[in-house]
């Protein structure tokens, strides 16, 4: 597996990471623990060194899973986790008070069975806590050796600049894919200017860009996509045009739609590291194959021209979720 550096931070990770949320939370029932551990071990064996979790995934269960599964590989992997919600529950709202950040860090160290958190993200910007105080709290944890790098998630450019002035931000994690390109407007230029890496989550559009979902797909009742406007039956039908387009490009490259979607992201900037999630070994192997696909400038132009003709329908969060992004 090729390696990439997250901006100017010196943090080197595999070109593709693994988003681990879905193993415990969000996309229906949690994966059987033994199966989840097998998948995590398979990822390490295939060269993945970058694993993403959060106290909110469960809450707490996902960190505990990674702590157990990755303990034998501790010196080979980079584990990122997140703080920023009351009691680790997004539904209760943001909480990035410095004392809460410290509590989350101490608890995460125990659950993850590590001495230091490699990358500690603020999960969402907290409008009630000055960004300087948030960055200052993480800076203190870095000085104490409990955290190595500071990250942010779904933050706007102004918040990123404020935080970066106090404690350099190693990486921003936000949604970015062929069906959500808003970061190209202001976020990517800001990150490039400041030397901050970018970690796109949902790089496969929460599964939609794989081609495995259509207008007739029925999600489990506990699957959060049931609440996402973009996944309404009507919008899935309209957005199928993007998947059909990806499938045509993939055929020309002897690849799958998912691989083209990931290879496209990798081709945008050398400091972009997508973190597709999966619970299935064959999907893990498919995703990792994207790192070997070459996307030329001519390919990028062709994809850009084709995608520009498809207008994606539906918001990517419900009303509550929309209020918590790009602050």
Give yes or no for a contact between 119 and 149, defined as CB atoms under 8 angstroms apart: yes
CA dist 181 → 126, 200, 202, 226, 311 (Å): 24, 11, 12, 22, 12
Tokens of 51: 């694993």
Q: How far apart are CA 164 and CA 194, in angstroms?
A: 8
Residue among 177, 140, 137, 131 at smallest CA distance from 277: 177
Query: What region does 8 belong to: left with phi over 0, alpha with psi -120 to 50, or beta?
Result: alpha
Q: How far apart are CA 199 and CA 2, in angstroms?
A: 16
Q: How far apart are CA 116 and CA 145, in angstroms?
A: 6
Surface-to-core class of residue 296, CB atoms within 10 Å of its CB (0-12 exposed, 13-18 middle, 19+ buried): exposed
Helix (H) or strand (E) holding 305: helix 297-307
DSSP output for 37-69: HHHHHHHHHTT--EEE--TTTTTTHHHHHHHHH
117-122 β-sheet, strand order:
18-19, 50-52, 78-83, 117-122, 147-153, 169-175, 197-201
Tokens of 14: 């595999």
Which of 27, 57, 121, 176 is catalytic? The answer is: 57
In the block, tokens 């203190």 appear at 140
Give yes or no for a contact between 228 and 318, defined as CB atoms under 8 angstroms apart: yes
Give yes or no for a contact between 77 and 70, defined as CB atoms under 8 angstroms apart: yes
Whether 317 sits among the annotated catalytic residues: the reply is no
Q: Is 310 helix (H, G, I), strand (E, B) or coil?
A: coil
Catalytic residue set: 57
């Amino acid at each position: 597996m090729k390696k990439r550096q997250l901006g100017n931070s010196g943090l080197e990770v595999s070109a593709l990471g693994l988003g681990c949320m879905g193993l415990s939370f969000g996309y229906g029932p949690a994966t059987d623990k033994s199966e989840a551990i097998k998948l995590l071990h398979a990822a390490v064996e295939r060269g993945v060194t970058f694993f993403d979790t959060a106290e909110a995934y469960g809450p707490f269960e996902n960190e505990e899973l990674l702590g157990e599964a990755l303990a034998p590989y501790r010196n080979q992997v980079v584990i990122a986790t997140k703080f920023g919600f009351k009691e680790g529950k997004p539904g209760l709202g943001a909480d990035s008070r410095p004392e809460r950040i410290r509590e989350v860090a101490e608890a995460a160290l125990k659950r993850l069975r590590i001495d230091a958190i490699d990358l500690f993200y603020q999960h969402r910007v907290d409008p009630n806590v000055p960004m300087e105080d948030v960055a200052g709290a993480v800076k203190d944890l870095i000085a104490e050796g409990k955290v190595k790098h500071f990250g942010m998630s779904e933050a706007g450019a102004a918040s990123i600049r404020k935080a970066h002035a106090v404690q350099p931000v190693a990486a921003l994690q936000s949604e970015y894919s062929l069906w959500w390109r808003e970061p190209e407007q202001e976020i990517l230029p800001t990150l490039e200017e400041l030397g901050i890496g970018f970690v796109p989550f949902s790089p496969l559009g929460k599964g939609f860009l794989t081609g495995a979902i259509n207008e007739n797909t029925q999600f489990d009742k506990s699957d959060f996509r049931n609440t996402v406007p973009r996944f309404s039956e009507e919008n899935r039908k309209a957005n199928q045009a993007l998947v059909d387009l990806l499938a045509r490009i993939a055929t020309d490259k002897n690849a799958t739609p998912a691989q083209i979607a990931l290879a496209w992201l990798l081709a945008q900037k050398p400091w972009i590291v997508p973190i597709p999630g999966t619970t299935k070994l064959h999907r893990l192997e498919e995703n990792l194959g994207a790192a070997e696909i070459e996307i030329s400038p001519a390919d990028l132009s062709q994809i850009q021209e084709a995608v520009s003709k498809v207008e994606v329908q539906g918001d990517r969060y419900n009303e509550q979720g929309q209020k918590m992004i790009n602050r």
